[in-house]
Amino acid sequence: MKWTAILRSLFSQSVDLLGPPDAHCLVCGGRRRGLPPRSADGLRIGDWLCDGCLARIPWIRRPACPRCGRPVFCPDCIRQPVRAFEMNRSAVRYNDDMKEWLALYKFRGDERYGEVLAEMMLPAFERLTAEVSAAAGDEAGRMVSGTRCAGLKKIAGWPDRMRGERRTARQVWHAVTYVPVSRERAEERGFNQSERLARAAAMRANAPLLPLLRRIRDSGKQSQRGRSERLRAMRAVFGPDDAGIRRLAELRASFGVRTSEPVRVLLVDDIYTTGSTAEACAEAVRAAVPYPVQVYVLTWARS
């Protein structure tokens, strides 16, 4: 054996010893060389993915629609400018690769993908937090005026609620909640993927994670339904979780929120498609409390 081959072998073994236990890409199984790469946002997903698979992630960096976070022109929000929730932000576009990753986690139980998805969602969380914080007001207004959805800047006081001083994530979010699944789905999968994503967001925000909602009935699988069918299926699906709602009221009192100031709740789900789930959840939360509540939505993917 040549000395170069021996040295190459020793170097490879050293990388294995010094690197993470699994030096292979979670998605393609290829070898990750050297230290785990990081994404452009400095995320830890390089602990699981190779450079090639990192490059395939379809990040949403500049939403075109200020309401739903869609990366292209959005006719849905033009048709329905008033919604029960304030806005949605998503981390990635839901293409074929992302569909496969979610299926491996959600339906096949590969929980390693849960960590990847939660980490991927953090840039969208940071952007949403910045938009909701008062210091982002003028910048958010300029962003909206430069898009094809410029008319939406007037809905729900878009620029007005952004003005003021920058706040930390803990000051922005009073509570984090998630979309509940039915008992059948929970037993089938063994977990609620939205709850796990919400837990990661709550940790990042240093905010309490509260189960504010319960599923009254199973709406069935939404993936094969069209827009109108989804909207009909989500009617009267969610109701308030009484214990969670009581806890939210207690937190509101402890935070010293003024009577006129809304409580800001971050609702987390895996995918935003038509907004029917987010709309139904936001309506249920707002109907359950006697004080003003603003529901913002954070999703991993935008379909």
Mean pLDDT of 130-150: 52
Please tell me the predicted confidence (pLDDT) of residue 224.
58
Radius of gyration of the chain (CA): 21
For residues 102 and 45, the model is more confident at 102
- Beta strands 238-240 and 213-215, pairing class: antiparallel
Please determine, for residue 19, whether its predicted confidence score (pLDDT) is greater than 60: no
Please determine, for residue 20, whether its predicted confidence score (pLDDT) is greater than 60: no
Cα 144 from Cα 148, distance rounded (Å): 8
Paired strand residues for 238: 215
Please tell me the predicted confidence (pLDDT) of residue 294.
95
Do residues 132 and 162 make contact, with C-beta atoms less than 8 angstroms apart?
yes
Q: Nearest Cα to 160, choosing from 96, 30, 66?
A: 66
Please determine, for residue 15, whether its predicted confidence score (pLDDT) is greater than 50: no
Per cent of the chain over pLDDT 70 is: 72
Q: Find the range with the poorest average confidence among 34-48, 88-102, 148-162.
A: 148-162
Rounded to the nearest 10 degrees, how much is the dihedral formed by the CA atoms of 188, 192, 194, 195?
170
Please determine, for residue 249, whether its predicted confidence score (pLDDT) is greater than 80: yes
Please determine, for residue 154, whether its predicted confidence score (pLDDT) is greater than 70: no
Please tell me the predicted confidence (pLDDT) of residue 45.
82
pLDDT in tens, 181-220: 988 888 888 899 999 999 999 999 999 999 999 999 876 6
Q: Give the 3-state secondary structure of 156-171.
A: HHCCHHHCCCCCCHHH
Please determine, for residue 149, whether its predicted confidence score (pLDDT) is greater than 60: no
pTM of the model: 0.79
Please tell me the predicted confidence (pLDDT) of residue 222.
54
What is the H or E stretch that residue 300 is in? Answer: strand 293-302
Please determine, for residue 295, whether its predicted confidence score (pLDDT) is greater than 60: yes
Mean pLDDT of 169-176: 90
The distance of Cα 39 from the centroid of its chain, to the nearest Å, equals: 18
Please determine, for residue 144, whether its predicted confidence score (pLDDT) is greater than 70: no
Per cent of the chain over pLDDT 90 is: 54
For residues 246 and 46, the model is more confident at 246
Q: Find the range with the poorest average confidence among 4-8, 151-155, 251-255, 277-281.
A: 151-155
Cα 110 from Cα 112, distance rounded (Å): 6
Which two three-digit tokens encode residue 263? 């409580």
Please tell me the predicted confidence (pLDDT) of residue 183.
86
Q: Nearest Cα to 194, choosing from 282, 285, 117?
A: 117
Please tell me the predicted confidence (pLDDT) of residue 80.
83
Which two three-digit tokens encode residue 224? 């094969």
Q: Helix axis angle, 193-205 relative to 112-132, nearest 10°?
A: 50
For residues 47 and 293, the model is more confident at 293
DSSP string, 158-222: TTGGG-S----HHHH-SEEEE----HHHHHHHSS-HHHHHHHHHHHHHT--B---EEESS-----
For residues 170 and 93, the model is more confident at 93
